[in-house]
């Protein structure tokens, strides 16, 4: 589980743990990851925290190897970690573009590769769940770099699903719409401080509200379960109808 310290990642970690999974909570913020792991253990689950920067191949390999060494196997990978620095396209510099793609796309590929190698070695198949975004299909202002990375995530999901299917490794993605998370400060500030703008934003969502992180976690639990054993290469929209408007 990458980006498991807070928000959607933390919610998925809690749901998978409740279902019996032993969870490796990987995050660049080790203290926050450790706190999430402690919460899981306090609820009777099994978890460990790992510090990992997905821009580092060394960190990715260490994260996967640690999960295998501590828990004996790696059966489910959730690629949740992502960054969302808003910037007008004409203000995006090379370092910002590279950092967004290192975490949001390159990191997903190499985490998936490392995990798949372990799954193939174990011979039991596995599940890989990527977190994409509605921005993969309809960009918003200031997200050219982010939208490109999430569009890439959607297509990478399909490409990996095709190649890994012979090994019984199923690869699917979730594309969340607006979700209220600690990391989405722009949305949180809008909803809390600008009532008029908040109403206008909410009016674009047919269900009339932003999602809670646990609503993404429930879909991740479904994709990780036997109920989704004939699904691969799918990108599941969980957006309250946002793309319909």
Is 84 tagged catalytic?
Answer: no
Spatial neighbors of 158 by CB under 8 A, at least 6 apart, are 171, 233, 235
In the predicted model, is pLDDT for residue 196 greater than 90? no
In the predicted model, is pLDDT for residue 195 greater than 80? no
What's the pLDDT score for residue 191? 65
User: Between helices 195-202 and 185-193, what is the axis angle to 10°?
Assistant: 120
What's the pLDDT score for residue 200? 85
Record the pTM: 0.95
User: Per-residue pLDDT tens for 203-233?
Assistant: 999 999 999 999 999 999 999 999 999 999 9
In the predicted model, is pLDDT for residue 190 greater than 60? no
Among 14, 84, 110, 146, the one annotated catalytic: 146
Q: What is each CA distance from 68 to 5, 28, 65, 112, in whole angstroms?
A: 20, 19, 5, 14
Q: At 65, is the pLDDT very low, low, confident or very high (cuts 50, 70, 90)?
A: very high
User: Per-residue pLDDT tens for 72-93?
Assistant: 999 999 999 999 999 999 999 9
What's the pLDDT score for residue 23? 98
User: Per-residue pLDDT tens for 130-189?
Assistant: 999 999 999 989 999 999 999 999 999 999 999 999 999 999 999 999 998 876 666 666
What's the pLDDT score for residue 245? 85
What's the pLDDT score for residue 189? 66
**CATH class in words for 7-181+213-240:** alpha beta
50 beta partners: 26
């Amino acid at each position: 589980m990458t980006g498991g310290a807070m928000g959607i990642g933390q919610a998925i970690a809690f749901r998978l743990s409740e279902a019996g999974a032993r969870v490796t909570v990987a995050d660049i913020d080790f203290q926050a990851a450790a706190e999430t792991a402690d919460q899981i253990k306090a609820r009777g689950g099994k978890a460990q925290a790992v510090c990992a920067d997905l821009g580092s191949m060394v960190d990715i390999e260490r994260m996967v190897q640690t999960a295998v060494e501590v828990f004996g196997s790696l059966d489910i990978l959730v690629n949740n970690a992502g960054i969302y620095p808003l910037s007008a396209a004409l203000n995006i510099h090379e370092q910002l573009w590279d950092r967004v793609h290192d975490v949001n796309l390159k990191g997903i590929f190499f985490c998936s590769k490392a995990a798949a190698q372990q799954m193939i070695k174990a011979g039991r198949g596995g599940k890989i769940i990527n977190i994409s975004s509605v921005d993969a299909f309809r960009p918003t202002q200031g997200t050219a770099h982010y939208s490109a990375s999430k569009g890439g995530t959607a297509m990478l999901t399909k490409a990996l699903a095709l190649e890994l299917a012979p090994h019984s490794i199923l690869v699917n993605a979730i594309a969340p719409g607006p979700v209220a998370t600690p990391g989405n400060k722009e949305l949180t500030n809008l909803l809390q401080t600008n009532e008029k703008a908040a109403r206008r934003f909410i009016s674009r969502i047919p269900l009339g509200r932003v999602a809670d992180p646990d609503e993404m976690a429930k879909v991740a639990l479904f994709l990780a379960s036997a109920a989704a054993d004939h699904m691969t290469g799918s990108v599941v929209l969980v957006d309250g109808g946002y793309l319909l408007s």
